[in-house]
Chains A and B, each alone.
Chain A
Amino acid sequence: MVTLEKIAHLAEECRFDSLGPVQSTAVVDVDTEKLRNLGEGTRHDVCASTFSPREEPLPGICHAFTQDGRCVSLFKTLYTNHCTHQCSYCTNAANCSNKSRAFSYTPEELARITLSLYRSNFIEGLFLSSGAGRDEDHVTERMVETVRLLRQKHAFSGYIHLKVLPGCSRAHIQEAIELADRVSINLEAASASHMSEICATKSYENDILQRQRYIRDILCIAKNSKAILPAGQTTQLVVGAAGESDEEIFKRVLYEYKEIGVKRAYYSAFSPQRGTPFENRKAQPLWREHRLYQMDWLFRVYHFKPGEICHAFNENGFLCNADPKMAIAREFMDKPLDPNTAAFRELLRVPGIGPKSAQKIVAFRKRQPIVAKAELAAMGIRIKRAGPFLKINGWRDTTLEMWQA
């Protein structure tokens, strides 16, 4: 413990610490109309994680949640809402009749807003997306400039997620990768034919997949240095705008994980926006998004094989509104498991047991055998779901529920 006077003196003397003094001049003089419009432009974008191994690993901190239950941890905004693409679901598209005025930030302005929000502990970092402006290279250049100002002039060490615009040059992608924590290109559609239905002005193969490969290749070359793009590359799909099935989405995502090496995929259920060509299409139920995430988790976290996950789709290639893990367990688990002898991988296949629960069971049975379901319940395992698939002491519940379709 030191006196306040000494602390004050120490603070006044330090000149070399990261962010420098608070700019006490009226931080920003921003047009709130602009802030609102460009903020709304990213409403449907998802970015869950602010986890970045750049420094010590920290779990993502969510500074607030909106009434829809999603977190606000980043300053998520468009650089400009001016766009020449004709994506049929987007309110910023050139062919949307309900467009708002065109706005654009300047790099200095955007950097200052980000800094002042970061300083006051409103946000953990910046998520910068954009319309394509007149041409995507010009806008990307400005976006990279913003990030460079933050990182180099203001020594900003928060999290930065940059969207790479479809079709921008490899040189700009390289610059973005060097400064950001994570970059992503939105796939939007599951295949080239679906893409052509949604948007006539983007080439799926050339504008999107090819740019993802650039990112992969740049990362591959820079493999040795850990500081490059610590949170990797991700992508996002609009679910249900072009009538694609869940199985088609799954196949595309498999390709992304295996060939492109994305860290994870995000799904955003399509909702019709006023004035767009897709205005009269049906909104996708939010549960579809949820089931897709479950499918994604089964592959990525639980390491289920694609051949197994395929059993969760119905004959039309859609997931139904039920836990896909349950459907797969019904198909593949013909004998109940004994939690005292089952391997970790086998435990993971039981509905209601995730990686954490499986770890707990393994740790628990090292000390003493599991003799009752109540013990499992006390560990936090969802007995109602897991019960029918478990047998303890040779006895198990016989419920018809397990065999119901």
Chain B
Amino acid sequence: MKIPDNFLYYLSLHENCNERLLARAGNLTPEVVEVCIHPEVARIKKMVYAVLGETHRMKAFVRLQPLGARVLYGFFKPRHRIGEHVCDTLARRNAGIIVVLGNGSDSWISLCREGRIWRNHSGGMAIALEKLKTAMHCSEDGPSEDRSSVEGLWQVYYDSQYCPERKNPAAFHRHMPRRDQDSAGLRLVQNKRNATLEDFLSEG
């Protein structure tokens, strides 16, 4: 990872960032942050990496489900203040669809239309979804059924990709830390290809 030019933006999203730290980091260039080994600069670098890392993983781990034809929503509880940033990215990917990310106390809403982004930030996601539903007059039916069907497809496909002869749980946990799975509301279970009686007999 390289420190990006707009690293101050990412630093400002860190949960422990304050105005004083931002002001001090304002004098630094990305190159200096990258190589300087002074403890304070090293701390800034670590904070920027922490935000970049969480952002990157959240863009990958958050799963969306449809509500009517024009809304996608998903559970999201990040440690850093990256709700809006991630929501914008997903809205850009699904242009013309309202993307709602949130949890019990926060929600972020973004819509990308003709290259422009419209945003809203409000309280709990359930309330925001309720409001959207009335505003769009969309009906209740469908979504829950939809979710299980797409998720079911995914689970079957995901399980099919596992090679038992390459088993490497350490790498799995390194790439998918429990903490980040929790932030995205993800519970990745892999039905390991359980050995059948037939396998046992043929081996014996």
A76 engages B35 (CB within 8 Å): no
Contact with A along B68-112 (1 / 0, CB 8 A): 111110100000000000000010011111100000000001011
- Residue B179 CB within 8 A of the other chain: no
List residues of chain A with CB within 8 A of the CB of B172: 65-69
Decide: A14 near B113, CB < 8 A? Known: A22-B69, A22-B97, A119-B72: yes
Contacting residues of chain B (154-180) with chain A, CB-CB under 8 angstroms: 154, 156-172, 174-176
List residues of chain A with CB within 8 A of the CB of B168: 67-69
Decide: A75 near B157, CB < 8 A? Known: A10-B111, A119-B64: yes
Contacting residues of chain B (174-200) with chain A, CB-CB under 8 angstroms: 174-176, 188, 190, 192
Q: Across the A-B interface, how many residue pairs have beta carbons closer than 8 Å?
A: 217
- Residue A21 CB within 8 A of the other chain: yes
B150 engages A64 (CB within 8 Å): no
- Residue B8 CB within 8 A of the other chain: no
| Cα–Cα distance between A8 and B175 once the two chains are bound (Å) | 37
A180 CB to nearest B CB, Å: 19
Decide: A18 near B96, CB < 8 A? Known: A40-B160, A63-B61, A72-B161: yes
How many of chain A's residues have a CB under 8 angstroms from any CB in B?
A: 72
| Cα–Cα distance between A121 and B159 once the two chains are bound (Å) | 17
B163 engages A43 (CB within 8 Å): yes
B149 engages A378 (CB within 8 Å): no
From A19, A24, A70, give the contact of B95 (CB < 8 A): A19
Give the interface centre of B112, B114, B146, B174 by most chain A CB atoms within 10 Å: B146
Decide: A61 near B152, CB < 8 A? Known: A3-B120, A4-B122, A43-B163: no
List residues of chain B with CB within 8 A of the CB of A42: 161
How many of chain B's residues have a CB under 8 angstroms from any CB in A?
A: 77
From A11, A43, A61, A271, give the contact of B97 (CB < 8 A): A11
B150 engages A117 (CB within 8 Å): yes
A19 engages B94 (CB within 8 Å): yes
- Residue B59 CB within 8 A of the other chain: yes
A11 engages B63 (CB within 8 Å): no
- Residue B62 CB within 8 A of the other chain: yes
State which of A25-33, A132-140, A233-241, A255-263 sits at the interface with chain B.
A25-33
- Residue B48 CB within 8 A of the other chain: no
List residues of chain B with CB within 8 A of the CB of A334: none
Decide: A11 near B160, CB < 8 A? Known: A1-B120, A59-B56: no
| Cα–Cα distance between A271 and B112 once the two chains are bound (Å) | 47
Contacting residues of chain B (116-166) with chain A, CB-CB under 8 angstroms: 118-122, 128, 131-132, 135-136, 142-143, 145-146, 149-154, 156-166
A290 CB to nearest B CB, Å: 12
| Cα–Cα distance between A35 and B160 once the two chains are bound (Å) | 8
B55 CB to nearest A CB, Å: 11
A236 CB to nearest B CB, Å: 15
- Residue A101 CB within 8 A of the other chain: no
List residues of chain A with CB within 8 A of the CB of B150: 27-28, 116-117, 120, 122
A67 engages B152 (CB within 8 Å): no
Contacting residues of chain B (7-52) with chain A, CB-CB under 8 angstroms: 31, 34-37, 42
- Residue A369 CB within 8 A of the other chain: no
Decide: A121 near B74, CB < 8 A? Known: A24-B146, A35-B157: yes
From B37, B59, B135, B167, give the contact of A67 (CB < 8 A): B167
Give the interface centre of A7, A25, A72, A73 by most chain B CB atoms within 10 Å: A7
Contact with B along A34-70 (1 / 0, CB 8 A): 0111011011100000000000000101111111111
| Cα–Cα distance between A36 and B193 once the two chains are bound (Å) | 12
| Cα–Cα distance between A379 and B34 once the two chains are bound (Å) | 9
| Cα–Cα distance between A161 and B158 once the two chains are bound (Å) | 18
| Cα–Cα distance between A328 and B112 once the two chains are bound (Å) | 53
B70 engages A63 (CB within 8 Å): no
| Cα–Cα distance between A23 and B150 once the two chains are bound (Å) | 12
A60 CB to nearest B CB, Å: 10
From B35, B60, B142, B153, give the contact of A28 (CB < 8 A): B153
B56 engages A61 (CB within 8 Å): yes
Contacting residues of chain A (116-130) with chain B, CB-CB under 8 angstroms: 116-117, 119-122
17 contacts between A and B (CB under 8 A): A2-B120, A5-B135, A8-B136, A9-B135, A10-B111, A11-B98, A17-B96, A24-B66, A43-B161, A59-B56, A66-B161, A66-B190, A70-B166, A71-B175, A117-B150, A121-B63, A363-B31
